[in-house]
Structure 1
Amino acid sequence: MVFGSCLGSAALKTIRPVGFHVHFPRYLLTSSKSTSVSVPVSQATTRASPIVGRWLLGLSGMTFGAILLGGVTRLTESGLSMVDWHPFKEVPPFSEEHWRLEFEKYKKFPEHEHYVKERGEMSITQFKFIWYMEFIHRMWGRTIGAAFVFPAIYFFYRGYFSPVMKSRVFIYAGLIGFQGVLGWLMVRSGLKEPRRPAGLPPNENYIGVPRVDHYWLCAHLVSAIILYSLLLWGSFNHLASHSLVKPFSSVKRLKAYGHMGKALTFATIIYGAFVAGLDAGLIYNSWPKMADKWIPDDLIVSRYGSTVRNFLDNPTTVQFIHRMLAYTTVLTTGLLWVNVMRLGVACTGPRIRNAAHLVLGAVLGQSLLGITTLLCYVPVSLGSLHQCGGVVLLSSLLWFTHCLRAVPK
């Protein structure tokens, strides 16, 4: 059978009532009075679980905001305006003299020199704008840290965390701290003189554009995405209560599509970070072809050395791979939706069906945003929305796979 179907009535007679000793995984709750399960549930008290869930959901929302702010900061070229990093004592200059000193520090780095060559002298007002953009982004990150640490200490003290949740809290803490370190390493990489491209003849003049290393940019974004995903999944575990769905034969196929969709979305986001770091969105601003060709001539060029380096450092190749990953993601999530629709709501239940609708809407919206952003030469507004659209798509796939956990094995 291509798409599978619900189990027949004879097969369903073999399913024991939920109140008996059905061998569900340990994280499933069973009840003799209800066919409702929460998947999974902390071993903390019933009263504490929603509180912890709302806390995790709030933290995931704040992390989403940090991702949005990071995109705007990069697109407004504000990320290199603060040339120092102090974990606890960063405050805005409080007088014109202090602003002047801060501006003079900025002028010592290649970013300012490049700005002058491209646009003329920068005014102190313009500097204040980019400085505050970076400052807000950094302070938002510190706010996330505070919103995590103080409630976590309280919840530990009150015994709100199960043993499993306690270990997860330490993982969250490590990722938040690691994210701050990665952010500074990324900024520091952009304060150096631009690297001369590999393979460029020695006698050829090269005027580099100061930018952060795209590997550090990717690491910074990916770590934020991982933190966001873990927090969101944790909030689902504490807040979502799914009604038991009768087993159906295609559940493994749907789970496979869901996991494949998450992996492809994650890979597309990684290459989206490479596109951003290499300014690869400012070349081949046409669709569906790249200029007038399906496969551009400079997809693999010798000056980058090996083929692998082309896949990582060549802006043309990076944009091409980003496109191909996006197409594959659309195809996979489209098949996910078709499979759910073929099964019918009587088989999957309304929640799984609605989650599939959410995935389809997210992937179509993200595709439209990506094409429009490319054709419009990556304006700040569209570029920021496109970055967030990838996170929304990943969130919808996380929700879809979480809903599938209500189907007994």
Structure 2
Amino acid sequence: MVLNVCAAAARLAKRSPFVVGVPRPPFLASSRISAHPIRCGFARPPVHALGLARLFSGTSSASDAQKAQPLLQTSQSPLKHLARRFFSNNAALAAPRFFSSNATLADDGVTAGEEAEPAVPPRSVGWWLLASAGLVYAVVVVGGLTRLTESGLSITEWKPITGVIPPMSDAAWGEEFAKYKNSPEFAQLNSRMNIDDFKRIFYMEWSHRMLGRLIGISMLVPYAFFLARKQLPRPYPGMIGGFIALVGAQGAMGWYMVKSGLHDDLFAEGAVPRVSQYRLAAHLGLAVVLYAGMFHAGLRVLWDNAYVKTGQWSLLAGDKALQAIKASQLSRVAAFRRNIWIVTGMVLVTAISGAFVAGLDAGLVYNEFPTMGDGFAPPMKELFDSAYAKRSDGLDMWRNLFENPSTVQLNHRVLAMSTYAAACALYFSSFRPALRVLLPPLTQRLGTALFFFANAQVFLGIGTLLYLVPVHMAATHQAGSIALLTTILALGMSVRAPSRAAQLLRQNPLLRKH
């Protein structure tokens, strides 16, 4: 049967005007492909031989289309449809999905397995990610207030579903208060608390947990919607799925942290009922990483869309931005971009070190600046106290770095001042004439914002220390760290080239979906 079909196809091909009296198709003239006739089994030539590389690069010639036009009008061959695919510039016909999954675009370095068609998510995806990042920002700020007001241990149970509704009657409030009375925090610190005082700290922690639930819903529902509408090209489904997993991990880590403040050994005399500083740092670290990922992805979607539509890279920059992006391959801009990511890492590490300061109440020791006692640092004997080592041989003296309040505060001071110096150096380096002419206006404005937030963070940190950690100033200091991170993430994006898909769509209007 198969042999009969092959023979019939061969006879039709011999009688076809497509073969007789018609010039060879351009792809057969290519040195990259053999002039072997197409056999049964539909062996497919490489994609680049069919002119798709020229289509994606925006350099397809009109002469090829003109030569193909008479052929498409006169051919009566069964191979007519295949010929139309060979010669047509129509994106619907020339789409890479016509070819096998192992086909490659040799000229562009793009595999068909990566994307059937270049695509970027719609702007609504970008705004959704930025709004979700804003909710994460809010939950970080509320979490800081919850810790500073010592409200985090007021709810002693984790009820993801039924915990949505707070106590609605006096009896329910009495039952909830009775649970809190059995906690170490009440026994050690709040034994004189009445029901009205308990309600205040309860609602603070309840609001924090409700924000966490809201983030989960705000991620899951739109994610399912955009997936169903097929508006999330790769790699966004996996990326956003990772964000959702981080939201779940964040909730689990939050309860794991609270449990550390409810242990029975905290009832012992002299014990301080508070959560583990390790778990607090992990809880904050997950939130910061989640925020950074969402903000970066949302900004990327919006700026890619702006580039596809207007040719401008960013929402605010003018035509000069395009010149800078082309120049981003130059060593000066590439080095500037690397330095941005180095400072970004320093901001992240400094923020997490602040969680250790908060978890140990290390801001209540050495309330002076720039000195710590008689010098710029406490004595080494105090910094590495054997009392914090749990092994008799003293091999775990490293615990002082994370458990000794004096050492933890010194660590945060050193990291903060190092980050401040690096941020200022990055800002002033952008004024070098050889580099400044390459930077778009948005990058210059973001550099100024970075300098402002870095200075504000230093002043807030010093003020928090000198005034014995007032709630409003400490909360603003924590919020300022996220604002600083936001600024430097945007700064890094402003000198990054548009995505590959955005560049292809900008070069080839036929590939855009209107």
d(CA) in 2 for partners of 1:171, 1:299: 39
- 1:268 is aligned to 350
Q: Does 1:165 align with 2:236?
A: yes
Farther off after superposition, 226-235 or 305-314: 305-314
Residues 170 and 106 (structure 1 numbering): CA distance in 2 closer, same or farther, change over 3 Å?
same
Q: Which residue of 1 aligns with 2:146?
A: 73
1:130 equivalent to 2:201? Answer yes
CA positional deviation for 1:399:
0.8
Partner of residue 277, structure 1: 359
d(CA) in 2 for partners of 1:107, 1:329: 43
Q: Which amino acid aligns with 1:54?
A: W
Q: Shift in Å at residue 406 of structure 1?
A: 3.3
In structure 2, C-alpha distance between the alignment counterparts of 1:19 and 1:158, rounded to whole Å: 29
SS at match of 2:431: helix
Structure 1 156/44 Cα, relative in aligned 2: closer, same or farther at 3 Å? farther
Aligned twin of 1:390: 481
Mapping for residues 274-313 of structure 1, pairs under 5 Å:
274-297=356-379, 298-305=382-389, 306-313=396-403
User: Where do residues 131-146 of structure 1 align in structure 2 (5 Å cutoff)?
Assistant: 131-146=202-217
Distance 1:195 1:126 in 2: 22
Matched, 1:50 2:131: no
The more displaced of 83-92 and 241-250 is 241-250
Residue identity over aligned pairs, in percent, reads: 36
Aligned residues of 2:449 and 2:487 also touching (Cα < 8 A): yes
Match of 2:182 among 108, 119, 122: 108
Unmatched 5+ residue regions in structure 2? 1-56, 61-106, 308-312, 314-320, 390-395, 500-514
Mean CA deviation greater in 176-185 or 342-351: 342-351
Distance 1:172 1:407, change over 3 A: closer
For residue 94 of structure 1, what is the amino acid of its counterpart? M
Question: Is the CA contact (8 Å cut-off) linking 1:81 and 1:106 kept in structure 2?
Answer: yes
Match of 1:363 in 2: 454
Larger deviation, residues 383-392 vs 338-347: 338-347
Residues of 2 paired with 1:183 and 1:337: CA distance? 36
Q: 1:193 to 1:278 in 2, by over 3 A?
A: farther
- Please tell me the residue identity of whatever aligns with 2:451: L
What's 1:217 paired with? 280
* Among 196, 221, 244, the residue aligned to 1:150: 221
Cα distance in 2 between the residues matched to 1:400 and 1:391: 14
Specify every segment of 5 or more residues in structure 1 that has no aligned partner in the other structure, as ranges: 1-17, 27-40, 197-204
Quote the offset at 1:56 in angstroms: 0.2
Report how many residues are paired. Answer: 367
Letter in 2 for 1:376: Y
Residues 184 and 266 in structure 2, CA contact (< 8 A), matched pair in contact too: no
**Contact 2:139–2:211, Cα closer than 8 Å, also in 1:** yes
Q: 2:444 aligns with which of 353, 356, 364?
A: 353
Residues 359 and 393 of structure 1 are in contact (CA less than 8 Å); yes or no, is this contact kept in structure 2? yes
Instruction: Select which of 284, 288, 292 maps to 1:229.
Output: 292
Is the partner of 1:128 in helix, strand or coil? Answer: helix
From 424, 427, 444, the counterpart of 1:337: 427
How far the C-alpha of 1:163 sits from its partner, in A, is: 2.1
Maintained 8 Å contact 1:44/1:159: no
Is the CA contact (8 Å cut-off) linking 1:57 and 1:232 kept in structure 2? yes
Deviations 1:38-75 (A, max 9, x none): xxx9x7866x5210000000000000000000000000
The structure-2 alpha-carbon separation of the partners of 1:61 and 1:25, relative to structure 1 and needing over 3 Å to count, comes to farther
- Provide, for residues 254-301 of structure 1, a one-character-per-residue CA deviation record: whole Å limited to 9, x for no partner: 122211111111111111000000010111110011133211021111
Shift of 1:19: 6.1
2:470 corresponds to 1:379: yes
Q: State whether residues 44 and 161 of structure 1, in contact with CA within 8 Å, keep that contact through their aligned partners in structure 2.
A: no
RMSD of aligned residue pairs (Cα, Å): 2.6
Q: Structure 1's 107 and 349: CA in aligned 2 closer, same or farther, altered over 3 A? A: same
Q: CA deviation at 1:397?
A: 1.1
SS of aligned partner of 1:296? coil
Deviations 1:112-147 (A, max 9, x none): 01224xxx6111000000001000100011011111
Secondary structure in 2 matching 1:288:
coil
For the Cα contact (< 8 Å) 1:49–1:160, is it kept in 2? yes
Post-superposition offset of 1:407: 9.1
Higher relative contact order (CA 8 A, sep 6+): 1
CA gap of 1:160–1:405, structure 2 versus 1, over 3 A, is same
Provide the TM-score with structure 2 as the length reference: 0.68
Kept after mapping to 2: 8 A contact 1:359/1:397 = yes
CA distance, structure 2, for counterparts of residue 154 and residue 212 of structure 1:
38
- Match 1:178 to one of 249, 252, 274: 249
Question: Could you say what secondary structure the match of 2:122 adopts?
Answer: helix
CA apart distance, 1:346? 2.5
* Deviation (angstroms), 1:195: 5.8
Is residue 333–residue 438 contact of structure 2 (8 Å, CA) maintained in 1? no
Letter matched to residue 274 of structure 2: R
How far did 1:252 drift?
2.5
